[in-house]
Amino acid sequence: MKKIILLSALSITSFAIGQTVAQPSSMKKLSFGFKISPNFSWLKVQEGAIENSGMGLGFSYGLTADYRLSPSPNYWASADILISTAPLTLNHTGILKNEVDNNDQSYENAKFNYDVQYIEVPISFKMKTEEIGNLKYTFQVGIAPSFTLSKRLKTSVTPDVYANTPNITSHDPNATQNSIYDFDGGANNDKNYIFTDDINTARMSLVFAAGVEYPVSGNLSLTGGLKFDNGFTDFLKDDLYKGRHNFLSLQVGLIF
């Protein structure tokens, strides 16, 4: 009889310990991980004689962290540090004049290929469901301040603005020493021809995301989802042309 009681007690204790060990992933306060994502970017034109020309294919990578906000495992604060490359192409639908042209040369068929790299710090509120068929579904909303790390511009016009410098195929649009590649109306400063190809250093956007978490083993989970990064500040540093830079990203990552 004593043996039966002892075995029963050991069984109950083992079951309790097993339950305690199985719970830490849901009781964790802080999770870390990393993510990568291809992204598609474009400019939503709001003002000026420009139009977006298709979607640019870019790439993001970086670190992510989730912090549980309540005893419930469903509500989290999320923060990322991402390096994002987001190219886009604009067509100018009018005629331009070069900044240093003194011969009244007109330029047509202008295309501006921007290759911009940002450091992004998205901060969002994340909701997670309970497990449904081994998956947790997640939904996020937040903001994403960004700052340019590098910016390159390849300008294609008729005639070619790079013709006199054959070793140059692109330039920094914000640099002050390369005005031979820029357009601002020429010596007469005619507003009909002004186009300042500079871009703003800072960018702010709203972030909306949905995805899933799949437990791999222990505290390790595989994540995947879709994120829409909706810019609400002006991409172009220009008085006459305005547009907002948007991304759509497919995200894959690991958290632990």
Q: Please tell me the predicted confidence (pLDDT) of residue 34.
A: 97
Is 16 inside a domain boundary? no
Mean pLDDT of 162-181: 88
Give backbone dihedrals phi and psi of 236, rounded to 5 degrees, phi first.
-85, 140
Q: Please tell me the predicted confidence (pLDDT) of residue 13.
A: 37
CATH of the domain at 41: 2.40.160.20
- What is the number of domains present in the chain? 1
Is the pLDDT at 26 greater than 70? The verdict is: no
- Indicate the pLDDT class of residue 190, thresholds 50, 70 and 90: confident
Q: What is the pLDDT of residues 68-123, one digit of tens each?
A: 999 989 999 999 999 999 999 999 998 898 888 767 788 988 999 999 999 999 99
Is 60 inside a domain boundary? yes
Give CA–CA dist 95/190, Å, rounded: 12
Is 109 inside a domain boundary? yes
Range from 59-63, 160-164, 249-253 carrying the lowest mean pLDDT:
160-164
Mean pLDDT of 125-149: 96
Is 177 inside a domain boundary? yes
Is 151 inside a domain boundary? yes
Mean pLDDT of 195-212: 96
Is 193 inside a domain boundary? yes
Return the percentage of the chain with pLDDT > 90, whole number: 68
Is the pLDDT at 20 greater than 90? The verdict is: no
Say what the pTM is. 0.84
Q: What is the dihedral of CA 166, 170, 173, 179, to 10 degrees?
A: 0
Q: Average pLDDT of the chain?
A: 88
Q: What is the pLDDT of residues 234-244, one digit of tens each?
A: 999 998 999 99
Q: Please tell me the predicted confidence (pLDDT) of residue 15.
A: 37
More confident call, 65 vs 102: 65
Range of the domain at 174: 30-255
